[in-house]
Chain A
Amino acid sequence: MADMEVDARGLSCPEPVLLAKNALESMAAGTVVVLVETVTSRENVTRLARGMGCAVEVEEAGDEFRMTIRKG
């Protein structure tokens, strides 16, 4: 069960990364699920999360990616 969910589908660069960053910074520890549509957004959010020391899991569902980011 995610503590927060960020729907960044259809948003252009760098909005998905900013939304994910804000969500991760708002919690000390927990899980954020980020939904994105493009591989670029998936790569960018992954880079951000790893840079913040978080674990990232990605599931591909049709034309979308569901990214589960664990902090702490």
Chain B
Amino acid sequence: MPEEKNTLRRSITRLFASRTGIIAVGIVIGVVAALLQRLGNPPNMGVCVACFERDIAGAVGLHRAGVVQYIRPEIIGFVLGALAAAFAFREFRPRGGSAPIARFLLGVFAMIGALAFLGCPWRALLRLSAGDGNAILGLAGLAVGVGIGCHFLKSGYTLGRSRPMPYFAGLMMPLVMLLLLGLLAFAVSFKEGHAIFFSAKGPGAMRAPILVSLGAGLLIGILAQRSRFCTMGSIRDVVLLRDFHLISGLVGLVAAALITNLILGQFRAGFAAMPVSHSSHLWNVLGMVLAGLAFALAGGCPGRQLFLSGEGDGDAATFVTGMIVGAGLCHNFFLAGVPDKVVEGVLVTGGPGYWGKIAVVVGLAFCAVLGLTARQRT
């Protein structure tokens, strides 16, 4: 029996490691994300790791932007689904200790960049598949950022080795997610007018049913852990290795989401006043240059970092923590981009404000210095 189980495990692993496997995973994610929007999630935001972590930061009071506060079950599902898959396939490996504070700050700046654009790479793909032309600029920025990261990697950039960690240390992020799930399930209110905060209006109030969101998150978590789905890695592998394996998953995602959006009537093409989006072109590009560079230097897109943290990777968990804290900073210090608005028939172009632009430039400088100086010490 154990031998049969091992054979089954190996067959499933081979399937997910194949081109067909990664494309199938992309298709499932694309369809599920578009359906989550249909079932209540915000427009062109069926799944967005950056936005949803920002909502979680708001729910626990790390920021007080009242329209973006909710404990998103999808994020919980991503980590716990990856944990379950890692256990089932004996890939749970507690590890960590590779430049934690640098990874934390990369997470902070990745979030600053993503929120200047208003979305992570996942949402950029979903926005593209729903007709939001600004996503093209964001994705172009992402590619440039990842390209710069590849240049640093080729020049010997490294944050150093991780080491095996005690078993319990590998469970930290899954345990945090279980705690969040408890707070959500019991809608805990610590004191009137205090955390946990749940938005009454705005994107934070737009939610698919909890069990649907959690189930979708778990499904994506399992599939992505098995297939190593990574938006940043997709671009990086093409640039560095001419390897088109991962990026074929992205093509599957966009195609599936596009078709589902067309069927559900969720497709609308344009640039101005698109849902939770701005048309400040320069900052759409620069925000995602920063995010892409930070993801490349940290070794994974924000989704991948969640899946890795479910596998016991403490370095990924540190990056995720940086992103959540970064979301708090973004809204407390007015760094996040503001969506376009139409006021009395006149378009008011959104985008990051003065301090948001400064923060993006500071983030780019931080990543450049890190990329140029972090080398293996002998």
Contacts and interface: CB of A to CB of B under 8 A. Distances in A.
A37 B299 contact: no
Contact of A12 (B164, B237, B299): B299
A38 B299 CA distance: 14
Contacts of A66: none
B25 to A, nearest CB: 14
B124 to A, nearest CB: 21
B159 interface: yes
A59 interface: no
Given A9-B161, A12-B159, A38 B243 contact: no
A48 B241 contact: yes
Interface in B133-153: 153
Contacts of B237: 14
B207 interface: no
A14 B153 contact: yes
A10 B163 contact: yes
A12 B315 contact: yes
Contact of A18 (B17, B153, B164, B315): B153
B241 A13 contact: no
Interface in A14-29: 14-15, 17-18, 21
Nearest to A37: B93
Given A12-B315, A18-B240, A47-B245, A38 B161 contact: no
Contact of B241 (A15, A17, A63): A17
Interface string A36-71: 011110010001100100000000000100000000
B300 A15 contact: no
A11 interface: yes
Contacts of B315: 12
B129 interface: no
Interface centre among B13, B161, B164 (most CB of A within 10 A): B161
A14 B161 contact: no
Contacts of B17: 43, 47
Interface in B229-245: 230, 233, 236-237, 240-241, 243, 245
Contacts of A40: 228
Nearest to A9: B161
Contact of A10 (B98, B241, B298): B98
Interface string B1-41: 00000000000010001000000000000000000000000
Nearest to B91: A39
A20 B276 CA distance: 43
B154 interface: yes
A21 B241 contact: yes
Contact of B158 (A11, A17, A39, A63): A11
Contacts of A14: 153, 233, 236-237, 240-241, 299
Nearest to B103: A12
A57 to B, nearest CB: 15
Interface in B74-121: 89, 91, 93, 95, 98
B162 interface: yes
B300 A13 contact: yes
Q: Which 5 A-B pairs have the closest CB atoms?
A: A10-B161, A12-B299, A10-B162, A13-B299, A43-B17
10 contacts: A10-B98, A12-B300, A13-B230, A13-B299, A13-B300, A14-B153, A47-B243, A47-B245, A63-B93, A63-B164
Given A10-B95, A12-B98, A38-B91, 13 more contacts: A9-B161, A10-B161, A11-B161, A11-B162, A12-B162, A12-B298, A12-B299, A14-B237, A14-B299, A17-B241, A18-B240, A38-B93, A51-B241
Interface of A: 9-15, 17-18, 21, 37-40, 43, 47-48, 51, 63
